[in-house]
Chains A and B, each alone.
Chain A
Amino acid sequence: MSLLFILFFPLVIGAILLIAKPKQAFAISLAASIIELLATIFVLKDAASAENGLVFTKPWIEEAGISFSLWVDGVNGILIGLCALLVPFIVASTANTDKAQNSQYQGLMLAMQTALMGAFLAKDAFLFYFFFEASLLPIYFLAAIYGGENKNAITFKFFVYTLFGSLFLLIGLIYVYLVTPGTHSSDMETLYQTAIMLPEHIQGNLFLAFFIAFAIKMPIFPFHTWQPDTYTVSPSQATMLLSGIMLKMGTYGLIRLVLPMFPLGIITWGNTAVILSVIGIIYGSIIAIQQKDAKRLLAYSSFAHVGLMSAGILSESVEGIQGALYQMLSHGINIVGLFFIIEIIERRTKSREIAQLGGITQFSYLLTVAFIILSLGSVALPLTNGFIGEFLLLKSVFDYNMIIGIVAGITIILGAVYTLRLIQKTMFGNFSRITKDFEDLSVAEKWVLIPLCALVLIGGVYPSWILNFTEPGVQTLVSLLK
């Protein structure tokens, strides 16, 4: 029942916001997201103490063997926690703007949370697919109603592109589902057992179908062309949802579905997929260095980071998967913080052009500190959360193939280049015409940034409690592969 609560609670409140349009939209939405966070913490505590995690099952379409089943274990526990953790910050980041009391905006964000939670919680593969696609609707409307210039064309491309990708996933899922014995079942554990028995060439084709769907969602080179435009044009909160949480649906899908289902497929195509991921890392970083728009720069940095996660996952080692899970958490925290900082700057200066900014540190010391902490987390400096994940990921890629590992390692240098350049050009130097009246952070903005920075440091100093939480799940997963 507790799983049902954390799944549907945001949707219920979101629906109330969308239909009744109450005055205090911000307060309701923030309160709901905090209640959701507390409930999720309880659920995760339960899951950690339970032997095999928590499971909830109800028949959905009985004769087809499709059930409405949810579960929590070490693997998705992280992502559920991430989703519940970030949404309060994302909601809080609207404080004192015209979006704060916009009940439609707040309602769509909460609806989005349910869709994301559903995709992470689902134990039935079709339920996963259902939420995987349904999550496109709220984010599409958020981006297309409140987006910036040329939003219609860009968000439309985003929608069609990602939906097109997930149709491949649907084909693959239906294929495996029809191979399951008896009256068929789409329970993930049944699918694991079935898919693993398939012959090699079929696994190879299925791997491709699944990988394309997830590669578009993450995105992996060369399926990324929707991403920079969409991230740039969307309102900040939608960008945070996209990069902080929704992107992880792709990596989660790789871990949850691709790894245990198609070990032979990975033997055939895994190398190609890893190389594409690593190309994405380098390619994304190099483009990020040249960006003039700060938000676009972060979009490319996110593209580069997710490439490393994907490569680590496909290396099929405990370190790789652990690192990817840890990095999903830290990347979510860091990127939400960074996008928020860019929005703070944009609110005050009406500009995101790196060349037009500068000298902000003279007006807001705290913003600079926060920016530096979050950026260092993003470039994986030791003592920040990014270091743990990225170290584990690089190690796994290195073990997988030394040359690929070395190439992937360049990401740390390139990441440092574009991130430090961003900080330097915006925060330091002389103030410009538009930054000369820069106001210091408001209370609400501090309330978002300070906890996020704290999480960056805590995650960097004391990672073991999270790694311990995920380890049993990852061990089971890897033992399936052997």
Chain B
Amino acid sequence: MTAIIALSLFGISNLFLGFWFPRKTIQNITLLFLVLSMALTVSDWNHELLWFGNMFRTTNTSINFSLIIQLAAFFVVAFSKAFGEDDEHSHPAEYYAIMLFSVVGAILMVSFDHMIVLFVGLEILSVAMYVLTGSDKRNLRSNEAAIKYFLMGSFTTGILLFGITLVYGATRSFYISNIGTILTSTAPESMPTFLFIGVLLIIVGLLFKVSAAPFHFWTPDVYEGAPTIFTMFMSTIVKTASFAALFHLVSGIFGSLYTIWVLPVYFISMLTLVVGNISAVYQQSVKRMLAFSSISHAGYLLLTVSSKQLSTTSSILYYSLSYTLATVAAFAVLILVSEYQSARVEKPENFSSFQGLAKNNPGLALCFSISLLSLAGIPLTAGFWGKFFIFSDTFSRNIIYPVILAILMSAVGIYYYFKGIIAVYFKSGEIEKIEVPTLYKVALWACTIGTIILGIYPNLVKSVF
């Protein structure tokens, strides 16, 4: 809890630090801030408490989600190197501050106990993201992406808010626990119809944010247009936070309305798997491929939302962690390679610009391959166990066909992830040694080694979750 206060203060102080310090110093200070806030988050461990007029609840699950979010933010900050150098118009301090603010929003979204907190958290996160998406001011694509994201996002917020209103109208409460009690104690026949509409609207609003099909159309364009470092931010932090909120609502308080949402949610989950994976096959750009891959991962995660089992939370946490580590590493290598190629080829983010990376940059090639293997779910990497836990968890609830579809789709996934590995190792190309800053290198290897360690000994974190 103290973590969100601290992060807000850190964000504000970051804005002032920008007066005196160069980008690099601010980056290091921000990393320090994040470590501190993680420590503060951990200090709430095993203290289930309500804050802010019972609107905010810290549980071990929410702490775990917050930690994953802050870890992702830590890596994003560590990988931020491009902005603010040789550019009088950029304002690194503000970007770091905005990132910290959006982490506050994300934490609110994983620990809300009141609908308004959910809404406020989502808005803090989203508004920050609109700004960051458009931060590459002189790039037309970035501007387009920001406008698109903003329009779609505000529309979504409207839907979510409308849903919250309807649910409030039916239950006369914003408190999650109150709504839950009212929903379970009322017979479905005596509930007003607009309650069901409200529930579905809330679900749809959050599905927009996790970019589930058919609400995914903004994702590839926005991911591609945004500066890669913020794409990394979006695809990890926004996803994790929105999914945690969705899971909290759907499996928690809406659990008693199972029959209302279960079919739509499974339909959407399967559609997401198919759309995400099949579209990813046709992408030439690594960044777009990763955008579609993030859609497909939302599909895998959605398989779990109908669960009431305690063990599901740990599967979701494990999956989020493995996905975050792998995605962050893949984007980090993409940043380096596309930066190197931007002066040399027309489309620096395509698979073709990765060709021959392994020759002079074996370390980068290895990190990139391991992250792709993990996303594909190959053994020895964390992604394998992530998928394994999700599949076996869903299977255990007798949901057979969606899982079989998911397994087939993960075979399709191998196809497009391996395009990257093949380009890196087996295609010839001329890439000289790419200079990597020390901090960047350390963070990249941390992700990679983390992925492998979690792949070999999943119990390391599984026992905590």
List residues of chain A with CB under 8 Å of any chain B CB. 59-64, 126, 129-131, 133-134, 136-137, 141, 144-145, 151-152, 156, 159-160, 163-164, 167, 170-171, 174-175, 177-178
Contacts and interface: CB of A to CB of B under 8 A. Distances in A.
B425 A159 contact: no
Nearest to B460: A61
Contact of B408 (A59, A137, A167, A175): A167
Given A61-B459, A62-B459, A171 B404 contact: yes
Interface stretch (B92-100, B201-209, B234-242, B391-399): B391-399
Contact of A170 (B391, B418, B457): B391
B380 A174 contact: no
Contact of B458 (A61, A151, A159): A61
Nearest 10 Cβ contacts at the A-B interface: A134-B379, A164-B411, A133-B379, A174-B392, A167-B407, A178-B396, A130-B379, A61-B459, A174-B395, A152-B426
B295 to A, nearest CB: 21
A145 B418 contact: no
B129 to A, nearest CB: 35
B179 to A, nearest CB: 31
Given A170-B407, A178-B395, 18 more contacts: A60-B457, A61-B459, A62-B463, A63-B311, A131-B379, A137-B373, A144-B425, A144-B426, A151-B426, A156-B418, A160-B415, A160-B418, A163-B414, A164-B408, A171-B395, A171-B403, A174-B391, A174-B395
Contacts of B462: 61, 63-64
Contacts of B391: 170-171, 174
B17 interface: no
A174 B400 CA distance: 11
B410 interface: yes
10 contacts: A64-B392, A64-B462, A129-B379, A130-B384, A141-B425, A144-B426, A152-B427, A163-B414, A171-B391, A171-B403
B449 interface: no
B182 interface: no
B182 to A, nearest CB: 34
| B interface secondary structure, majority | helix
Interface in B411-465: 411, 414-415, 418, 422, 425-427, 457-459, 462-463
B378 interface: yes
Interface residues of B, number: 31
B411 to A, nearest CB: 4
Contacts of A60: 457, 459
A130 B377 CA distance: 11
Nearest to A61: B459
A133 B407 contact: no
Contacts, number: 74
Nearest to A130: B379
A164 B412 CA distance: 9
A175 B395 contact: yes
A467 to B, nearest CB: 34
Interface string B279-321: 0000000000000000000000000000000010000000000
A372 B21 CA distance: 79
A162 B254 CA distance: 41
A183 to B, nearest CB: 10
Contacts of B396: 178
A129 B388 CA distance: 11
Contact of A167 (B311, B385, B410, B457): B410
A62 B396 CA distance: 18
Nearest to B311: A63
Contacts of B410: 167
Contacts of B427: 152
Contacts of A64: 389, 392, 462
A156 B392 contact: no
Interface string B176-204: 00000000000000000000000000000
Contacts of B380: 134, 137
A82 B396 CA distance: 38
B383 to A, nearest CB: 12
B411 A167 contact: yes
A178 B397 CA distance: 10
Nearest to A165: B411
A146 to B, nearest CB: 10
A160 B425 contact: no
A159 B385 CA distance: 19
A163 B379 CA distance: 11
Nearest to A62: B459
A161 B379 CA distance: 16
Contacts of A126: 388
Most B C-beta atoms less than 10 A away, residue of A62, A131, A174: A174
Interface in B296-353: 311
A140 to B, nearest CB: 9
Contacts of A145: 425-426
B230 to A, nearest CB: 33
Contact of A159 (B311, B379, B395, B418): B418
